[in-house]
Amino acid sequence: MKIFLIYGGKSAEHDISILTAYSITQEVYYQYYEIEPVYITRDGQWVKGPVIHQADKLRNAESLRLSVGKEAVFAQKDQESSIGVLIEPSSIKSEDAVIFPALHGPNGEDGTVQGLFEVLGMPYVGAGVLASAVGMDKIVSKQLFQQAGLPQVPYVPVPKRYWLHQREDVYNRCEGTLIYPMFVKPANLGSSVGISKAENREELTEAINLAFQYDRRVIVEQGLQEAREIEVAVLGNDDIHTSVPGELVKSVEFYDYESKYINNDVRMQIPATLSEETTEKIREYAVRAFQAIDGSGLSRCDFFVTSNSEIFINEVNTMPGFTQFSMYPSLWKQTGLSYGDLIEELIQLALRRAEERSQYQQKNHQ
């Protein structure tokens, strides 16, 4: 079977996506599959590279950064620098193939590209259109978590018109229901871009203005002081499994883009040191959050745990970082599932979901 491994993309997480794709090429079970690499350039062009049949064909992650034209760097050992072919996204349509979208952030993890795969009628790894879109949207996901009875910090959604025309109301609502520090975030971005912490009204104004540079909807949240960040891996479609929880141990206070991806100021502790009761609760909440957004395949559910053991769900990532060293695969490894087996399980889940979907479609035609 063919795997279309799609990576790169227009989001800020372009580089981490390449690392994810590279990790997958190293561990996929080549006795069953061959990989067709499809690289999305930063400006959104789709480029297909030569088929990969074995792990050692690729020298390093950089060799997956293929491009069209002169600076092609898709290099396999025996093909010094083969040039990728520019393709139309829809041209990947084929039988007996599965798509692995190793994409993070807007345009990859938010349901848009999943919609394309649905239209093409192809099986793909991970969440469907709805779960992807909801998982990416910090306002809608919070509304669904609220309905599911999951504990979370208080928040105020701020649509742009509200900020432009009723600013005093925004201040009153934020300061009436939350206390400083507050966290201000664009509704639809990952990787901490556009997020800031506000200690007073002036900073709140600045933070909201900044967040509006990235999205037309903003969320202001109650900031937690010294909360631990605990993450759980979820795997499955209907039969949902959770990993042991892990902790992101920070050496800087605010977990921002720089510290997350550039400085590596974080250490993972797996399993996290938590009471049995807290661990059980977090795993149960992770399943409920996954169900609340109609998740399938995989998700990483992120929580805050305060010093008096209060638990708050922060967010669900439907395509979490997925290199061999990322939290999600590491959580499974500690729970007894290797990276190779995890990839295989995700492919099987994708095929089963596509099968189920085609059964429903046939029923609808009758």
Ligand X SMILES: Nc1ncnc2c1ncn2[C@@H]1O[C@H](COP(=O)(O)OP(=O)(O)O)[C@@H](O)[C@H]1O
Contact status: 314 vs ligand X (CB under 6 A): yes
Residue nearest to ligand X (CB): 255
Contact status: 13 vs ligand X (CB under 6 A): no
Is position 326 annotated as part of the catalytic site? yes
- Please indicate if the annotation marks 212 as binding a ligand: no
CB of 102 to ligand X, least distance (A): 18
CB of 29 to ligand X, least distance (A): 31
Judged by CB under 6 A, the stretch of 43-51, 122-130, 163-171, 224-232 that binds ligand X is 224-232
Instruction: Find the angle CA(56)-CA(61)-CA(64) to the nearest 5 degrees.
Output: 90
Q: How far out from the chain centre does Cα 58 lie?
A: 25
- Please indicate if the annotation marks 60 as binding a ligand: no
Contact status: 221 vs ligand X (CB under 6 A): yes
CB of 55 to ligand X, least distance (A): 30
Contact status: 315 vs ligand X (CB under 6 A): yes
Name the residue among 360, 215, 235 with its Cα closest to residue 298.
235
Contact status: 153 vs ligand X (CB under 6 A): yes
In angstroms, the CA 39 to CA 46 distance is 6
Q: How far out from the chain centre does Cα 2 lie?
A: 24
CB of 236 to ligand X, least distance (A): 23
Nearer to ligand X, 89 or 154 (CB): 154
Please pick, among 11, 13, 36, 345, the residue that the annotation labels catalytic: 13
- Please indicate if the annotation marks 260 as binding a ligand: no
**What SS3 string covers the chain?**
CEEEEEEECCCCCHHHHHHHHHHHHHHCCCCCCEEEEEEECCCCCEEECCCECCHHHECCHHHHCCCCCCCCCEEECCEEEECCEEECHHHHCCCCEEEEECCCCCCCCCCHHHHHHHHHCCCECCCCHHHHHHHHCHHHHHHHHHHCCCCCCCEEEEEHHHHHHCHHHHHHHHHHHCCCCEEEEECCCCCCCCCEEECCHHHHHHHHHHHCCCCCEEEEEECCCCCEEEEEEEEECCCCEECCCEEEEECCCCCCHHHHHHCCCEEEECCCCCCHHHHHHHHHHHHHHHHHCCCCEEEEEEEEECCCCCEEEEEEECCCCCCCCCHHHHHHHHHCCCHHHHHHHHHHHHHHHHHHHHHHHHHHHC
- Please indicate if the annotation marks 191 as binding a ligand: yes
- Please indicate if the annotation marks 34 as binding a ligand: no
CB of 213 to ligand X, least distance (A): 15
Judged by CB under 6 A, the stretch of 9-17, 50-58, 219-227, 279-287 that binds ligand X is 219-227
Q: Per-residue string for binding with ligand X, 265-304, x by CB under 6 A?
A: -------------------------------------x--
Taking residue 228's Cβ as centre, other Cβ atoms within 10 Å add up to: 19
Is position 251 annotated as part of the catalytic site? no
User: How many binding residues for ligand X (CB under 6 A)?
Assistant: 18
Please pick, among 34, 175, 191, 203, the residue that the annotation labels catalytic: 191
Contact status: 334 vs ligand X (CB under 6 A): no
CB of 100 to ligand X, least distance (A): 22
- Please indicate if the annotation marks 184 as binding a ligand: yes
Contact status: 259 vs ligand X (CB under 6 A): no
In angstroms, the CA 366 to CA 353 distance is 20
Nearer to ligand X, 208 or 224 (CB): 224
The structure tokens listed for 336 are: 């007894």
Contact status: 116 vs ligand X (CB under 6 A): no
Nearer to ligand X, 30 or 214 (CB): 214
- Residues from 179 through 208 that contact ligand X (CB under 6 A): 183, 185, 190-192, 195
Q: Which residues are annotated as a binding site for ATP?
A: 138, 183-185, 191-192, 221-229, 314-315
The residues annotated as belonging to the active site are 13, 191, 326
List interacting residues with ligand X (CB under 6 A). Answer: 153, 183, 185, 190-192, 195, 221-224, 227, 229, 254-255, 302, 314-315
Q: Which residues are annotated as a binding site for Mg(2+)?
A: 302, 315, 317
